[in-house]
Structure formats: structure tokens, C-alpha cells
Amino acid sequence: MPEVIEPPSGKRIAIITAHPDDMEHWCAGAVMQAVERGCEACLLLVTSGDKGSGDPDTDPRDLAMRREAEARAAGEVLGLAEVAFLRYLDGEVENTLQLRRELTAVIRRWQPEVVFTHDPDHPLPPYLSHRDHRTVGRATLDCIFPIARDPLNFPEQYAAGLLPCKVGELWLFASAVADSYVDVGSVLERKIAARLEHHSQTSDPTALPDNWRRGAAERGAPVGLEAAEAFTVIMRG
């Protein structure tokens, strides 16, 4: 049954997404409230969104640099402790051993108790979700269990002082089977302000706020909230 839940409180959070502005779209409201409740939140971007333009004359390297700057600016609005980049090429992410090694190193460095990431198995929109979203979500879950937990995986990391990490909560966003809702009404305008920091991805900054308010209202409607984000939450003992 759908239920309204509270965001995490007093825990370390890692948000792992495929592209700049994925977080703002799907989970920034819950994360901002978690920060207000004493959480430390860090964002890892697997790509820098170097293909995110409809202009064929755009230099992908310049766009990536611009989008990284936008992500940092949005992170300031959201209260993030760190924004980090793996700089894989947009649209070309594969669930490789190297990607899992790098994700595991970040997870072990940050030692999160909670991870937010894409739902790889029931993604939104159905059938037409971005391939990078599915791949990053799947690789992240592969790292959480069991790779980051067990010291014999990538033992060179253990030797370098990156200790195993057992994540207790998984919050999957962009999930077609989401049944947990967070009331984000109190932070919706800040969420929109963070999204507007992504200037390269905003064709009409005057129309975006109303569109996002409508989207938040649609997500909240199943549980009677005026503005919400929706998740599939997995608790691990």
C-alpha cells in the first residue's frame, strides 16, 4: 500500500546518478529535508552529461565542463557536502568491472548508511528510460551488495585504507513501482531553484517552475500530498 514516509535523519547519504540534474528531478526534495534533519549528503555523477544538447555544433568537452559547474552550483543550493564526478561518457556507460571498482571506492570512502540511486529494474518512463539510468542503478546496487561490503573485493582498496561499507537503506527513484512518498512541499521552491542552476538544460526558465509544481502535485496525488517525491525503499538488516 502507498504510504507517506519521513526522509532519513542523522545519517550519511550518497546519491549516485547518471547525469547532472537527475538528482534535482527525482530526489532533491527528500535529500534537502534529510540535510535539515542532520544528514550529510554527497552526490556522485557518473557522467558529466557531455551529450546533453540539441545543438550539433556543441563541443562535448565544453558542455561537460559547463554542466559540472552547474552541478556544483545546484549542490550549494541543496546543501550537499560534496559533488564528485567519474566522467564516463554520456550515453556510453557500461556495467564494467572498472565502473564497479570506481563506484565501490567512492562508497567505501564516503561510508554512506543510505544510498539514493536509479531503479534499474522498474524504471520510469517504462521501456524508454535512459540507458545510463538503468546501467548506473544496476552497477550501484551490484556494488552495495555484496562488493563494497566484502573486503576481498578490490583488496587494494582495503590496503589503501578504504574499509568495507554495509549500506542499510536503498532509496530507488524514477521507479515505476514506487510506493513510498515524501512530502516535499516545504522545500519545493528550493528544489526548483536548484534545477534552474542547470542553465544548459533549461530552454524556458519562466515555464519550468510551474511545470515542476504540477509534476510534484501529480506525484503527491495518490497519497493526498500537494507536492511529493516517490521512491521504492529497501531496508537491509
Number of domains within the chain = 1
**Alpha-helical segments (H) within the chain:** 22-26, 28-36, 60-78, 97-110, 131-142, 155-159, 188-196, 208-220
Whole-angstrom Cα distance, residue 78 to residue 43?
Answer: 11
What is each CA distance from 209 to 144, 180, 192, 202, in whole angstroms?
Answer: 35, 24, 6, 11
**Residue 236's pLDDT is what?**
78
pLDDT tens by residue, 170-211: 999 999 999 999 999 999 999 999 999 999 999 999 999 999
Q: Which three cell numbers stand for residue 64?
A: 561537460
103-118: per-residue pLDDT in tens?
A: 999 999 999 999 999 9
Taking only the tens place, the pLDDT of each residue in 78-103 is 999 999 999 999 999 999 999 999 99
Query: What is the C-alpha to C-alpha distance for residues 14 and 189, in angstroms, rounded to an integer?
Result: 23
Query: Domain of 144?
Result: 3-235
Which has the closest alpha carbon to 185: 225, 156, 237, 146? 225
Q: Residue 237 — pLDDT band, cuts 50, 70, 90?
A: low
The yes-or-no verdict on residue 36 having pLDDT over 80 is yes
Q: What does the pLDDT read at residue 71?
A: 98
Q: What is the mean pLDDT of residues 125-143?
A: 97
- CA torsion 164-36-28-83 (nearest 10°) is -50
Q: Which pLDDT belongs to residue 45?
A: 98
**pLDDT number for residue 173:** 98
Sequence-separated (6 or more) residues with CB below 8 Å from residue 79: 32, 35, 36, 41
Whether 153 has a pLDDT exceeding 90, the answer reads: yes
* Per-residue model confidence as pLDDT tens digits over 54-87: 999 999 999 999 999 999 999 999 999 999 999 9
Is the predicted pLDDT of residue 41 greater than 70, yes or no? yes
Rounded CA gap, 3 and 199, in Å?
34
The CATH number of residue 45's host domain is 3.40.50.10320
